[in-house]
Chains A and B, each alone.
Chain A
Amino acid sequence: MKILEIKGLNIDFKKRKSFINVVQGLDLDILESEIVGIVGESGSGKTVSTLALADLLPSGNSRVSYKSYKIKANKIDKKQIPYFRGRLISYIFQDPIPSLDPMFTIRYQFKEILKVGSRKEVDDKLMGKLLLDVGLKDIERVLSSYPHQLSGGMAQRVAIAFALGSNSKILVADEPTTALDAHIKKGILELLKKIRDEKGLSIFFISHDLEQTFYVADRVYIFYAGSIMEYAKSSVIKKSPLHPYTRALLDCVPKRGIEELKQIGGKSPNFGDLPKGCLFYPRCSFAMDICQKKRPPLVEVKKGHFLRCFKEKI
């Protein structure tokens, strides 16, 4: 069942004296024991939307509103959302080492986090078990270390262990493998799949890397300029992407043997200066007249496959 479902997410950011709309009317949901991939480039709104979910946006500079925010089908008032941060929803960041406090040992920080999840017995045994769960071996050494003494991969596993320890049901992983070396990345992706299966966790996997996302996610959302362009099961998007942006993105991945990459000309639009019609219109090679005038709605074109595009067949 859906553990989290939001409808009509609106995010505005303050620029100088006025607010600019960055995300409008976004719907997002995730099932228990599911990995949802969110793919987009910088400025797509992928990070901002998930930060809003966990109420992590700075309140002075941003305005967030929902049409509805449901946890396990129960409607939640916006004021209650901060309560869930750290309890229901955990966040892990791109660069794991700076996301840990450099002044304290892992043991100290772990204890602090476990206390939030209101566990009574916080001891090395409990922490050790969680660290084993995320695939770490040298438990004593890890617990006694300071963040800068760990490798990137180890630190990311520690961050995941923290999330598990706080008993969260939802993990938001914002580009968790981007800062890691190539052969470490795969290990983290496997770990995420493992905790989905063994602990029933729901994971938002945010990335700009299509291949990794297809590998780890069950469903994939494609973000562009603050809007969802397409979403469907991971295998479906991989095999038959429908949106011109998705297809163009797949063509951008460098491979051996091709003479030239099919690039997407231009750059993503500035918020505050968005095109009237389809957001991708200026860069779309399949653009039609109607695309310039009207913004296409998100429509279920096949079962479980949603598309925001006027072009039926490409």
Chain B
Amino acid sequence: MKELLQHRRGLIAVIILFFLYLGAIFSGFISPYHYRSEKRLLSYAPPSKIHFFDSKGGFHLRPFLYKYTMSLDENRKRVYGEDKSQVYPVEFFTKGDSYKLLGLFPADIHLFGVDSEVKIYLFGSDSRGRDLFSRIIYGGRVSLSIGLIAVIITFFIGLIVGGVAGYFGGKIDNILMRLCEMIMLVPGFYLLLALRSSFPPEIGTVKIYFLIIIILSFIGWASLARVIRGIVLGLREKEYVLAARSIGLSNFKIIIKHILPNTSSYTIIALTLSIPSYILGESALSLLGLGIQDPVPSWGNLLKDAMAIVQIKLHPWILIPGLFIFLVVVAFNMLGDALRDIYDPKRKIV
């Protein structure tokens, strides 16, 4: 852990992920609005401008906003401006929409907010006037957790299958590896879609959440198992494994205590590097409408609005969820790189 923080890329990755996951855990507190809260009047409002100097040139210590003004131009397109008549300061630790802290405790204090007359849209708003910043923070809950949970399941299945196949060899190895190959034959994304389509399209958010996790881990374990099996084949002949056999340790205990722990340097890195593809898998499903559905946000389904080029041109801020996906994918990749560097045995000198 300490070495990770000393590694440049590792440190950056840890910082990025720390803040992203912090946001997901305390999503209710950090976002000014609940993800459902809408204001149709302010549909596709641009990001709020934070001011320190007012129209008369006076400096305010506390940042403030102006109220949105909305008018229609000759093409019936919305044009947004600012009503500079009144200054609305940004408040911290203010009361707002109620939510459940950590999913358990009812609360209504938010990190920051503004008088209810005005809306603070840090990243602008979507078609229904919902604060994109809030929805992105809430969206992190889904996008960041699905990958992690699915990877943990993949970990267990892959280790057990790979460990057993590699240690026992023979027929068991043959059967298990052919099974892996069958799964690996189908291109991942198509398998994802196929499995998803075999279930009804609308089954409720919670059920979809777990369904996605199961599908993702079902696709992922095969390649992990194959590599683990290869590593186990090598470890099986190591003298400390032979010593364990000569002591009379049972096969099961040998696999669990001697063989699998020594695959960890590969496993941790492989899993860390596969989290991004799981996150992208969920995002893709949600984007296509097969994953988490509106109104529950996930970074994938938030990008649905951005599917038309015209929308991006008119309201470029709807791409920001994509930036977050990019950020978490890069962060996990950097983390994986850093871990690989740290675990590299050739790193020790003399």
Contact = CB atoms under 8 A, between A and B. Distances in A.
The answer to whether A and B touch directly, with their CB atoms under 8 angstroms apart, is yes
Interface of A: 13-16, 20, 22, 61, 271
B243 interface: no
A52 B15 CA distance: 42
B212 to A, nearest CB: 44
A20 B348 CA distance: 13
B182 interface: no
Contacts of B350: 13, 15, 20, 22, 271
B350 to A, nearest CB: 5
Interface of B: 349-350
Nearest to A60: B349
Given A13-B349, A15-B349, 8 more contacts: A13-B350, A14-B349, A15-B350, A16-B349, A20-B350, A22-B350, A61-B349, A271-B350
A116 B350 CA distance: 31
A2 to B, nearest CB: 30
A18 to B, nearest CB: 11
Which A-B residue pairs are the 6 nearest by beta carbons?
A: A13-B350, A15-B349, A14-B349, A61-B349, A13-B349, A15-B350
Contacts of A15: 349-350
A15 B348 CA distance: 7
A209 B349 CA distance: 26
Nearest to A43: B350
B154 to A, nearest CB: 35
A15 B347 CA distance: 9
Nearest to B348: A15
A16 B350 CA distance: 11
Contacts of B349: 13-16, 61
Nearest to A13: B350
Contacts of A13: 349-350
A113 B310 CA distance: 65
7 contacts: A13-B349, A14-B349, A15-B349, A16-B349, A20-B350, A61-B349, A271-B350
B283 to A, nearest CB: 40
B347 to A, nearest CB: 10
A14 B349 CA distance: 7
B342 to A, nearest CB: 13
A177 B350 CA distance: 24
A61 B349 CA distance: 8
A91 B168 CA distance: 43
A54 B349 CA distance: 20
B94 to A, nearest CB: 48
Nearest to A15: B349
Nearest to B347: A16
Nearest to A270: B350
Contacts of A22: 350
Nearest to B350: A13
A159 B350 CA distance: 26
A15 B350 CA distance: 8
B346 to A, nearest CB: 10
B17 to A, nearest CB: 26
A22 B350 CA distance: 10
Contacts of A271: 350
A17 to B, nearest CB: 10
B6 to A, nearest CB: 10
Nearest to A14: B349
A238 B350 CA distance: 31
B69 to A, nearest CB: 59
Q: Which of A16, A22, A271 has the most CB of B within 10 A?
A: A16
Contacts of A16: 349
A22 B349 CA distance: 12
A133 B349 CA distance: 40
A211 B115 CA distance: 92
B55 to A, nearest CB: 55
A88 B350 CA distance: 27
A12 to B, nearest CB: 10
A20 B350 CA distance: 10
B84 to A, nearest CB: 56
B266 to A, nearest CB: 24
B348 to A, nearest CB: 8
A298 to B, nearest CB: 24
A64 to B, nearest CB: 14
A271 B350 CA distance: 9
A148 B264 CA distance: 32
Contacts of A20: 350
